[in-house]
């Protein structure tokens, strides 16, 4: 009896000797193939007709298809007909059985993949899929989708999902996305590596997919919404966007309870409570010292601030706003003149782009985003106080909308319940305002709301649990000067709270903690701390030195390019 190949001779115990042996063996086999020596099977292939000689043992070792073929009834025939693969493709794959390589190109990869699946050549399938993904473009991905549906190739399906996870923002805006089946979309949304700047982007994609065929997609909608990291939304977003969706009321209730009642979290069953790995967030701050601007990022692990970019900005009084992957600098003041310029800084690649200028120059204005649209409100043009308002969309540029009832600058502005609110400010050098107005984009009308209890210039405003909170930025007694607006009853009420209590309202949220960017000290340093709910105390962190904070936002770490 012949020795088993698993009982390897001493010769093969040495890896270098074994490699040399295998190289010599394969070289001999390839020579037999090239010379058509010791051939024991020939395939007759059509389209165009050709004969392809081969060795049964090699093909059977390379593919279960050939192994089963040669064990079957026609396996002993010296000539075997193949009618379902064209001759060029078949010959390339026979060569692959010998060499592990084949000339796969973007032009033949579809035919090669289909044939490799039939012939059960797993390594060839992998090579085809790798070729497809290596050459993927906006146009070729449509071909890849068709090919995946035709072949039901699991590896191609998996690689496409990996691509969709990595390029989700682009994919979710495409037409093909609207036809994704529920299982596929759920696999994508469940991924902790879903590449999105904000969790809201995943919500927007689900909503777009759902609206494409509402009757057929109502039943699976809650399963997709459950894939979101719901605890990363604030309560107002959950109430206004998640709760109204069919079948999602309980999901919204659980997430709100999780946010508002930390002590009860062990009793609340939720699929995901942590942010995605790609959505890990940090602070990004613009600081100004004299006319030097720097973009600083907070390193949470080392508790220190690092320079992310040096900014060349030769004007002041602009209003910055975070929009997707960009910081938009809108309006401002340069050489004694108000500006209408709009510049966009891409956070990821640190490049500037000029956007269409506003219709009117503004400084001391306020900017908010609502439903993907940017609103520039009031401000100053020279010494003229403005009541005009304009709105920007990439498709339409800047267009005027209804003006404020009362002109103003240095006000506060927020969005709540799909409306824009502006409060306080001033319209003469000596007159502060307590007037409040609300803009409804559906009717394009500003309406007066109840006045604040006090006049306020440059107020600090924050939406919290369906209410608007206002704090004077420069009040000497700011801890005693907070008021809250109830939009449902159109009522302002004054509330008295300690600084720590105010920080829970006006502070920024990061890692499910509330952070306070405190006042500047005499050394021009901004104190920073977060609230430890378990110990009910404020924990001081690394302060932000050297300059005044012009802008601070929580951004995904994935947006920040590697240094």
Q: Which residue has the higher pLDDT, 358 or 529?
A: 358
What is the model's pTM? 0.58
* Structure token pair of residue 380: 């100053």
Residue 44 lies in a domain: yes
Residue 261 lies in a domain: yes
Residues 29 and 120 reside in one and the same domain: yes
Other C-beta atoms closer than 10 Å to the C-beta of 515 total 21
Residues 415 and 322 reside in one and the same domain: yes
Residues 261 and 331 reside in one and the same domain: no
Residue 7 lies in a domain: no
Residue 334 lies in a domain: yes
Residue 146 lies in a domain: no
Q: Which of 5-19, 281-295, 395-409, 522-536 has the highest mean pLDDT?
A: 395-409
- Please check whether residue 202 is in contact with residue 241, taking contact to mean a CB–CB distance below 8 angstroms: no
Give the up-direction half-sphere exposure of residue 269: CA atoms within 13 A in the CB hemisphere: 1
Residue 214 lies in a domain: yes
Residues 218 and 110 reside in one and the same domain: no
Residues 411 and 295 reside in one and the same domain: yes
Domain of 50, in residue numbers: 19-135
Give residue-wise pLDDT tens across range 471-486: 875 544 444 578 999 9
Give residue-wise pLDDT tens across range 59-102: 999 999 999 999 887 778 889 988 889 999 999 999 999 988 88
CA distances from 549 to 27, 477, 536, 546 (A): 70, 21, 27, 9
Residues 453 and 351 reside in one and the same domain: yes
Residues 337 and 436 reside in one and the same domain: yes
Instruction: Check pLDDT > 60 for residue 466.
Output: yes
Residues 380 and 492 reside in one and the same domain: yes
Please give the share of the chain, as a percent, with pLDDT higher than 90: 53
Q: Given pLDDT bands bounded at 50, 70 and 90, which one contains residue 547? A: low
pLDDT at 93: 94
Where residue 496 sits, what CATH number does that domain have? 2.120.10.80
pLDDT at 381: 95
CA–CA distance, 372 with 33 (Å, rounded to integer) = 64
The sign of the CA dihedral 308, 312, 317, 318 is: negative
Residues 305 and 250 reside in one and the same domain: no
126-131-137 Cα angle (round to 5): 135
Overall number of domains in the chain: 3
Residue 385 lies in a domain: yes
Residues 370 and 249 reside in one and the same domain: no
Residues 302 and 440 reside in one and the same domain: yes
Give residue-wise pLDDT tens across range 268-311: 999 998 888 776 788 899 887 766 788 999 888 788 889 999 99
Three-class SS state of 437: strand
Residues 345 and 255 reside in one and the same domain: no
Where residue 191 sits, what CATH number does that domain have? 1.25.40.420
Where residue 79 sits, what CATH number does that domain have? 3.30.710.10
Residue 500 lies in a domain: yes
Domain endpoint, select from 135, 169, 191: 135
């Amino acid at each position: 009896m012949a020795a088993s190949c698993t009982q390897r001779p001493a010769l093969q115990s040495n890896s270098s000797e074994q490699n040399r042996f295998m190289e010599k063996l394969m070289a001999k086999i390839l020579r037999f193939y090239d010379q058509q020596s010791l051939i024991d099977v020939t395939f007759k292939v059509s389209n165009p007709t050709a004969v392809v000689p081969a060795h049964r043992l090699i093909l059977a070792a390379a593919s279960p298809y050939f192994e089963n073929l040669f064990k079957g009834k026609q396996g002993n025939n010296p000539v075997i007909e193949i009618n379902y693969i064209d001759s060029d493709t078949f010959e390339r794959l026979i060569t692959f059985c010998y060499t592990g390589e084949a000339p796969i190109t973007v032009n033949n990869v579809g035919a090669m993949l289909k044939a490799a699946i039939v012939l059960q050549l797993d390594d060839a399938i992998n090579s085809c899929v790798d070729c497809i993904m290596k050459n993927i473009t906006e146009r070729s991905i449509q071909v890849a989708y068709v090919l995946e549906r035709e072949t039901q190739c699991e590896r191609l399906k998996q690689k496409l999902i990996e691509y969709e996870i990595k390029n989700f923002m682009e994919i979710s805006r495409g037409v093909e996305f609207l036809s994704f089946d529920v299982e596929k979309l759920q696999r994508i949304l469940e991924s902790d590596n879903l590449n999105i700047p904000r969790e809201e982007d995943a919500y927007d994609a689900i909503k777009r997919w759902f609206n494409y065929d509402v009757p057929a997609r109502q039943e699976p909608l809650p399963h997709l919404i459950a894939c979101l990291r719901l605890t990363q939304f604030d309560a107002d977003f959950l109430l206004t966007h998640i709760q109204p969706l069919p079948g999602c009321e309980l999901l919204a209730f659980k997430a709100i309870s999780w946010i508002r009642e930390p002590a009860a979290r062990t009793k609340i069953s939720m699929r995901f409570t942590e942010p995605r790995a790609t959505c890990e967030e940090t602070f990004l701050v613009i600081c100004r010292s004299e006319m030097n601007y720097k973009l600083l990022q907070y390193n949470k692990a080392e508790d220190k601030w690092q320079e992310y970019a040096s900014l060349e900005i030769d004007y002041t009084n602009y209003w910055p706003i975070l929009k997707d992957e960009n910081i938009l600098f809108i309006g401002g003041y340069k050489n004694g003149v108000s500006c209408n310029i709009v510049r966009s800084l891409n956070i990821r690649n640190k490049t500037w782009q000029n956007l269409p200028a506003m219709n009117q120059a503004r400084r001391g204005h306020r900017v908010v985003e609502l439903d993907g649209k940017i609103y520039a409100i009031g401000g100053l043009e020279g010494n003229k106080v403005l009541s005009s308002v304009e709105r920007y969309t990439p498709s339409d540029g800047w267009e005027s909308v209804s003006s404020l009832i009362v002109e103003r600058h240095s006000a506060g502005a927020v969005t709540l319940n799909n409306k824009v609110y502006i409060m306080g400010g001033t319209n003469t050098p000596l007159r502060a305002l307590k007037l409040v107005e609300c803009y409804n984009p559906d009717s394009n009308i500003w309406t007066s709301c109840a006045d604040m209890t006090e006049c306020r210039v440059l107020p600090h405003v924050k939406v919290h649990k369906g209410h608007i909170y206002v704090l004077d930025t420069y009040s000497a007694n700011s801890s005693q000067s907070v008021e809250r607006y109830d939009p449902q009853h159109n009522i302002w009420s004054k509330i008295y709270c300690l600084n720590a209590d105010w920080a829970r309202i006006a502070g920024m949220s990061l890692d499910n903690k509330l952070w306070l960017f405190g006042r500047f000290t005499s050394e021009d340093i901004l104190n920073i701390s977060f609230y430890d709910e378990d110990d009910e105390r404020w924990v001081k962190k690394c302060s932000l030195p050297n300059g005044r904070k012009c802008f601070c936002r929580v951004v995904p770490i994935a947006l920040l390019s590697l240094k």
